[in-house]
Amino acid sequence: MSPIPAARRALLALATAGIAAGCATPAAPGGVDVWLTTGDKTQLLARQAPIAFGAGGAAAVVTVDPAQRFQRIAGFGASITDASAWLMQHRMSPAQRRALVEELFGRGPNGLGFDFTRLTIGASDFSREHYSLNDRPPGETDLALAHFSIERNRGDLLPVLREALAVNPKLQVMASPWSAPGWMKTTGSLIQGTLKPGMAEPFARYLVRYVDAMAAEGVPIFALTLQNEPHFEPPDYPGMRLDPAARAEIIGRHLGPLLARRGLKTQIVEWDHNWDEPQAPLAVLADPVARAHVAGVAWHCYAGAVDVQAQVHAAHPDKDTWFTECSGGEWKPHWPETLPWMMRHVVIGATRGWARGVLMWNLALDERHGPHLGGCKDCRGVVTIDSRTGEVTRNLEYYALGHASRFVRQGAERIQSTPVVDGVDTVAFRNADDGSIVLVASNPAPAARRFAVHEGARRFDVTLPRESVATFVWRP
């Protein structure tokens, strides 16, 4: 007889701890429901046999304490980019699109329950053309914004958004510009540059016009960021540099007061860029006029370490934290490496770092990593839509997000759990509606890890396979 493969041995070890692969039987009263994804892809958000509470005698212990509560969760999800919306509208049948929207945004037995999404105000690199919502010919300006229009969003983006909102009316929608209109900028172009002197006030009005226009279409924008990645000027797709002083001026003296005068509830979220420059949002928050109008700080994953989220939160505990962008891609195709990384830094790390919401980048891309115009050539969507057939492939990011989004409902609170035990990363939540406890645990090690979970007087033992993620759910 040939030796038992390592992955199979790990699953057998799970079975001895009360987790048998592939079983969809509901947990017995007082038991723990379990879902598992493994780096070898033999288990993909797969329901396991329930675990009964018992001895919980393993030496390594994860302690869960629902009495210690932290931030309230708004949701998990991904950005509905122009590329994502175009694919869903033009490369899927109505039935395929409806099924995908229900799967991603619904809360049925197989729904991921996405409660949070992000839109681009104008084009990003994942658009089929570069545009703003107020383009003018070279040499012309439009200070009155007489030519402002969201017409380009009517064919693809708005229909997909309406379908998503019909499935999940609680969906939280935020939006970010990649560039101001070119006539407002020093380059006269959507590419690179910054705002010209005197253009802060028109730019603020431009953003509020967008909020008004989307509201008229039945899409409430709960939050704006002033600029996507404001310290980056990409050479081949829309972008704009706004240093902290410029952002503080626009927020404190133009956008914030304008939203207040209009009585709009749309929040302003600062930064929307990487972990490697925490001093940048701190500089904006050091301006007392701007600070009064800033509701939170948003982060991306492409440089630096997730730990800075907690540091900035500690300096300004009255400001919310959001995690608004991270993309998977073919530069990291190896699941046993990338799945634990995504859990440690994004799903677990960002929420332990006070994030109220967690977003991946593109909701959907095609088999050629597009459509895109400039920018990333090998980014991966949460799902891949085959541009010829409309068939859907669920990618690593789908499962990483799903281990939280399917079980942690909007309004849940993060609760205390031991952060790391024997290399296993954890985060825990308590749902507001039924009091259920959700524990997400990720084992990045090349060997199985055994640990106990203690919550009050209740105990259970777990053996988590190598390079895997599990979600455990139990009720009061």
Which is more confidently placed, 18 or 373? 373
Question: From CA 78, how far away is CA 207, in angstroms rounded?
Answer: 21
Instruction: Please give the pLDDT value at position 29.
Output: 60
Cα–Cα distances in Å, from 296 out to 49, 107, 281, 329, 355? 41, 28, 10, 28, 10
Domain with CATH 3.20.20.80 in the chain: 74-410
Give the pLDDT of residue 109.
86
pLDDT of residue 34: 98
Residue 343 has pLDDT above 90, yes or no: yes
The Cα-based distances of 389 to 88, 90, 92, 195 in angstroms read 11, 11, 7, 43
The domain made up of 6-70+414-474 has a fold known as Immunoglobulin-like (2.60.40)
Say if residues 104 and 110 touch (Cβ distance below 8 Å).
no
How far, in Å, CA of 37 to CA of 52, rounded?
20
The DSSP code sequence of 265-317 is --EEEEEEEETT-THHHHHHHTSHHHHTTEEEEEEESSSS-THHHHHHHHH-T
Domain with CATH 2.60.40.1180 in the chain: 6-70+414-474
- pTM of the shown model: 0.94
Distance CA 53, CA 476 (A): 12
Q: Strand 355-362 relative to strand 75-79: parallel, antiparallel, unpaired? A: parallel
pLDDT band at 20 (very low <50, low <70, confident <90, very high): very low
Tokens of 396: 């690593």
Which two tokens mark 463? Answer: 């053996």
What CATH number matches the domain at 74-410, 3.40.50.300, 3.40.30.10, 3.20.20.80, 3.30.300.180?
A: 3.20.20.80
* Each residue's pLDDT tens digit, 411-448: 999 999 999 999 999 999 999 999 999 999 999 999 99
